[in-house]
Structure 1
Amino acid sequence: MTSLRTVGTAGSAPHLMVMLPGVAMQPEAIFEAGFARAIEQRGLPLDLLCVDIGGVGLDAMDRWDALQNEIIDPARSRAAQVWLGGISLGGLLAMAHVAARPGVVAGLCLLAPYAGSRPSTNVIERAGGPDRWRPSAEDLQDPELRVWQWLQRPPADLLVFIGHGREDRFAGRIQQVAERFPPASRHTVGGGHDWSAWLPLWERFLDAGHIA
């Protein structure tokens, strides 16, 4: 039995979404917001499992082996297509996990992903942006900057859905992350940094045809 606190199921469906909540957000909140209900309404062959990220510090986010060993690997061993999703801070955690483990998931579903703290992103801005930044060894001691190193050239074969609300108070910084992915991956809806945007984005992801 998994030692991670999870809500939902990783059953026998051919697709599994592992969703990481935002900071101080309990995994139950994702179900209360209607994410599972939206799957059921569409009759999609998708299991939803939400993982408690409490206690996972940013300095350990790309070394979170329990997520891989206890959830993702068992699902892959039964040939499920695994997606890793995240809301706000959970989106940054999802990117960090995949950056450290290429090829472990079929895709990312990033809802208003946190772009990193100001000290980290200022390093990139001072360099003239992600394409001009050349990370130093010191830079790469910062787990957030390791994510940005990965964002310089995300894998071309990784399916990505990324979106945010147009009124999100972090919209500008989220857009900087979104621009690292192909235009077809990027989505915006009305709403802020809350369920008013996150649920419609989730519904758009479900309707996008990724889950056949």
Structure 2
Amino acid sequence: MFSAVHRLGLYATIATGCASWLPAPAPMRTVADPLPSGQARCLLVLMPGIGDSPEDFAEYGFIEAIRARGIAVDIVSTNATLGYYAKRTLQDRIEADVLAPARKAGYRQIWFAGISLGGLGSLLVAQRYGTELAGIVLIAPYLGDDDVHGEVAKAGGLARWQPPAKLDEDDYQRDIWRWLKGATAKPETAPPIYLLSGDQDKFAPAHRLLGATLPPERRLRTRGKHDWAPWQRLWADFLDHSDFRARCGDLRDR
């Protein structure tokens, strides 16, 4: 796992669009964990943070937490590395390598859950394919630089913030906040958003701005910083207390 300093440097790199040298192979590598008893009606797509791999979701217990609770869901962990964001190919690769096969398989619900940069990636997918998604789970998401969400805070919050009338095509950060403004103002137009965050997370100011617009049942907090220990607790809380299990089904009910 990358150090905090290394991670911050990489966030700055993607924000300035200077990471085009990073690899973004096609197809994107994925790791599948299907139900042993046959295809589920739900697919959960996991998006890693900077420096993490799809195998980390198993290593840190995210997969086992689902299986131990008997939730009827197939799981695909993606290798959505920084290069896909830098080259602006993330949405295209997710479409080709994840969503298109999922449609062909006939899933009734597709969920995305992303950690840190993977949270931003989940939002980018929802921005383009939101009508196809049943929910997006943002775990300590990276939501852009301080100056961007600082604008939102200075305006008095997301509901009051007015995005620029015209955005530069590379200004994905303000574009994401503009999408979040619409999605939270008119929730019927977007998939449900769940926000999971540590109270000392380095991105906490942005999390508070987004959380203020979400229903209480879709906000979960715990003590901790930007690390796996609080993320594991938050994930367990989400599985135990959200409507995810009820919507996807319980193996014990089959």
Give the TM bin, normalised by the shorter chain: 0.7 to 0.9
Taking the TM superposition and a 5 Å limit, the aligned residue runs for 1:21-100 are 21-54=48-81, 55-58=83-86, 60=88, 64-77=91-104, 78-100=106-128
Q: Rg bigger for which structure?
A: 2
2:32 partner letter:
G
Render the CA deviation track for 1:157-202: whole Å, top value 9, x for unaligned: 3222211012223222222122232222111012221111111111
Distance change (3 Å), C-alpha of 1:87 and 1:47 = same
1:162, 1:186 within 8 Å by CA — same for their partners in 2?
Answer: yes
**Residue of structure 2 in register with 1:5 after alignment:** 29
Local SS of the residue matching 2:93: helix
2:226 partner letter:
H
The answer to whether 1:146 aligns with 2:175 is yes
**Residue of structure 2 in register with 1:180 after alignment:** 213
RMSD: 2.2
Render the CA deviation track for 1:22-48: whole Å, top value 9, x for unaligned: 111112111100011111111111122
1:190, 1:196 within 8 Å by CA — same for their partners in 2?
Answer: no
Whole-Å separation in 2 of the counterparts to 1:175 and 1:66: 31
Identity between Structure 1 and Structure 2 (%): 31
Distance change (3 Å), C-alpha of 1:144 and 1:10 = farther
2:111, 2:136 within 8 Å by CA — same for their partners in 1?
Answer: yes
Distance change (3 Å), C-alpha of 1:127 and 1:209 = closer
The answer to whether 1:137 aligns with 2:170 is no
2:114, 2:121 within 8 Å by CA — same for their partners in 1?
Answer: yes
**Residue of structure 1 in register with 2:203 after alignment:** 170
**Residue of structure 2 in register with 1:209 after alignment:** 243
Moved over 6 A (4+): none
Whole-Å separation in 2 of the counterparts to 1:161 and 1:194: 18
2:40, 2:107 within 8 Å by CA — same for their partners in 1?
Answer: no
Local SS of the residue matching 2:132: coil
Local SS of the residue matching 1:16: strand
The answer to whether 1:156 aligns with 2:187 is yes
Render the CA deviation track for 1:108-158: whole Å, top value 9, x for unaligned: 011011120134334444555432323231356401111100111215132
2:149, 2:206 within 8 Å by CA — same for their partners in 1?
Answer: no
User: Unpaired runs of 5+ in structure 2?
Assistant: 1-25, 250-254
2:64 partner letter:
R
TM-score (norm 1): 0.88
